Amino acid sequence: MKSHLTRVLASCIVLLFLAACTLSNAGSEVSSGEQVVSSIENKGSDTIVNLALAWAERYQSEHPEVRISVTGGGSGTGIASLINNTVDIANASRQIKPDEIETARENGIEPVEFVIARDAIAVIVHPDNPIDRLTLQEISAIYSGQINNWSELGGEDRPIVRLSRETNSGTHVYFLETVLRRGDTNSTLLFSTDTLLLPSSEGIIKEVSQNPNCIGYDGLGYVTEEVKVIGVSLEAGGDYVYPSLETVNSGKYPIARDLYMYTNGQPQGILAVYLDWIFSPEARQIVADLGFVPINP
């Protein structure tokens, strides 16, 4: 009997030890040998995802004790994850909305905003399309369904195929508010119901490059030589400006925006160190290399 009890007690001690080990490995720091590995969860905007991945890869190469997980899903997904406290950094290509801030605070989350870069939204068509410049009013009329054929703009007699990011995308929201509604907060104008909603920036580039009837919009960092970028003017008779680092910095290009990261409260520890690095010259050079516009710290 004593022998049996001894074995039972020994088994209990082993189970308790294993449970303690499991609990000690939960959270953002995990012991690996003699090294403590810190983890950062980063999720959100598909516009930012390539930049965030490039930052994470570079930072981890210099700081192997840190693991940074980066996923997309859209600005709405990132902000929802922040509200639910399941992410350390939420990426967003639009600013967090007042009702989202209210919901976050109800959940005990205090969103803190960081502007990490700027981006130009390029309006793109197939290289064979003779149209090479449009006004904001004309782009708005195309996407709202008021203009439906390229011949109405001096092009060929072809139906216009409208491409947009899906509604969960911050780029979609920004384009709706800034281009379709032209900054009018009282406007109720919406995308035409036959607008094709695509889940990725790469998807829009691919579709436009293959279909001469298409028009799309994308972050400048995603634009390739397979498509043609349209010059944009604020109004008829104005200067037509093409998106570039120079025209965004000068304020001449009319479809440009800030890009954001959000944390729960002021970042602490390794999270604060990482965000400080994001504003370093090294990280800002990566911003420029990927076609985005660096900002001053």
What's the pLDDT tens digit per position in 150-176?
A: 999 999 999 999 999 999 999 999 999
Measuring CA to CA, which residue among 86, 31, 33, 39 is closest to residue 270?
Answer: 39
Place domain 34-118+258-289 in its CATH homologous superfamily.
Periplasmic binding protein-like II (3.40.190.10)
DSSP-derived secondary structure for 99-149: HHHHHHHHTT--EEEEEEEEEEEEEEE-TT-S--EEEHHHHHHHHTTS--B
* CA–CA gap between residue 237 and residue 157 (Å, rounded): 24
pLDDT at residue number 22: 35
Confidence at residue 268, expressed as pLDDT on a 0 to 100 scale = 95
Residue 294 is which amino acid?
A: P
What is the pTM assigned to this prediction?
0.80
Domains in the chain: boundaries: 34-118+258-289, 119-257
Residue 172, exposed/middle/buried by CB under 10 A (0-12, 13-18, 19+)? buried
What per-residue confidence (pLDDT) applies to 1?
44
Spell out the residues 6+ positions from residue 250 whose beta carbon is closer than 8 angstroms to its own. Answer: none
How far, in Å, CA of 118 to CA of 60, rounded?
24
Quote the pLDDT of residue 2: 40
Q: What per-residue confidence (pLDDT) applies to 249?
A: 87
Pick 119-257's CATH classification: 3.40.50.720, 3.40.50.9100, 3.40.50.1820, 3.40.190.10: 3.40.190.10
Q: How many residues does the chain have?
A: 297
Residue 20 pLDDT:
38
**Cβ atoms 69, 42 nearer than 8 A:** yes
Same fold, 34-118+258-289 and 119-257: yes
Residue 288 vs residues 59, 147, 233, 293: alpha-carbon distances, Å: 17, 36, 24, 6
Q: What is the pLDDT of residue 37?
A: 57
Cα separation, 73 vs 60, in Å, equals 22
Positions in the chain whose pLDDT score sits under 70: 1-37, 297
**What's residue 295's pLDDT?**
86
